[in-house]
Amino acid sequence: DIKGFAFDLDGVIADTARFHGEAWHQTADEVGTTWTPELAEGLKGISRMASLQMILDAGDHADDFSQADKEALAEKKNHNYQQLISTLTEDDILPGMKDFIQSAKAAGYTMSVASASKNAPMILDHLGLTKYFVGIVDPATLTKGKPDPEIFVRAAEVLHLNPENVIGLEDSAAGIVSINGADETSLAIGNADVLSGADLNFESTSEVTLANIEAKMQ
Ligand code: G6P
Ligand code: MG
């Protein structure tokens, strides 16, 4: 029996994955790593410092930057990202997600947020959605980021539910691995070839409804 939902934020609730991509693209240009669709896809769901490391590794630049350089690059990316999201409003909720969150709440499901982003609480406030969630996992308290299961294990604990009673929603390959590792039901939003490890696949957020989920769980 499903009793709750653990949501990723960027690319699931908020149309912000493209802004992370834009800001990381600038970083890649700055350090001399070629920006590719594969790199962009692989960065989804990955924590800030691990994302930077992936960009440096992709260009074989891992040894060219000191720890202080890396912290400055990550700080600059976050600054650029925060500029890009500074005007976020309710209109930046992805199609259908506000309806889905409201109907899930009305139907008695509990919901938590499992985002790697330290900007998540601020974004949820801008979108007017904070009140729907019983809690947000603080990524600063994690020992390992996605694809490790820890964040989705913690998201179920926030809900006071066993993992088998939770559906995790994700737009990233790393996130689907994390949900599956936490023994929850994984619901992927996006290209089913990229997200082939998921239990349930949806092309876009507008298709995510309680009725469609029930139909796919049969
Ligand atoms: C999410 C996004 C990633 C981002 C990570 C850290 O998982 O999908 O693209 O790198 O959060 O976000 P932050 O806002 O803390 O830099
Ligand atoms: Mg995401």
Q: Which ligand 1 atom lies nearest to the CA of residue 20?
A: 9
* pLDDT number for residue 197: 97
Q: Which of 7, 8, 10 to mutate to test the pocket of ligand 1 (most atoms within 8 A of CB)?
A: 10
pLDDT at 189: 98
Strands (E), 92-184: 110-113, 135-136, 166-170
Verdict on whether the full-model pTM lies above 0.90:
yes
Q: What is the tens place of the pLDDT at every residue in 15-58?
A: 999 999 999 999 999 999 999 999 999 999 999 999 999 999 99
Per-residue pLDDT of 142-195, as tens digits, reads: 999 999 999 999 999 999 999 999 999 999 999 999 999 999 999 999 999 999
Q: Report the first-to-last Cα separation within the chain, whole angstroms.
A: 12
Reply yes or no on whether the pLDDT at 62 is more than 90.
Answer: no
**146 close to 116: Cβ distance less than 8 angstroms:** yes
pLDDT of 107-133, one tens digit each? 999 999 999 999 999 999 999 999 999
Q: What is the Cα–Cα distance from 80 to 60, expressed in whole angstroms?
A: 24
Mean pLDDT of the chain: 97
- d(CA 74, CA 70) in angstroms, rounded, equals 6
Look up residue 35 and give its DSSP letter.
Answer: P
Which residues does 10 contact at the CB level (< 8 Å), separation at least 6? 16, 17, 20, 44, 45, 115, 117, 171
Asked if residues 113 and 155 have their Cβ atoms less than 8 Å apart, the reply is: yes
Query: What pLDDT sits at residue 8?
Result: 98
Q: Residue type at 212? A: N
Side-by-side strand order, sheet with 110-113: 135-136, 110-113, 4-7, 166-170, 185-189, 200-202
User: Separation of 175 CA from ligand 2 center, angstroms?
Assistant: 7
- Pick the atom of ligand 1 nearest to 77's CA: 16
Mean pLDDT of 11-17: 97
Task: Name the more confident of 192 and 63.
Answer: 192
Contact between 155 and 115 (Cβ < 8 Å): no
Query: Do residues 61 and 33 lie in contact, with contact meaning Cβ atoms separated by under 8 Å?
Result: yes
Residue 77 has pLDDT above 90, yes or no: yes
Run of H or E residues at 206: none
Percent of the chain with pLDDT over 90: 98
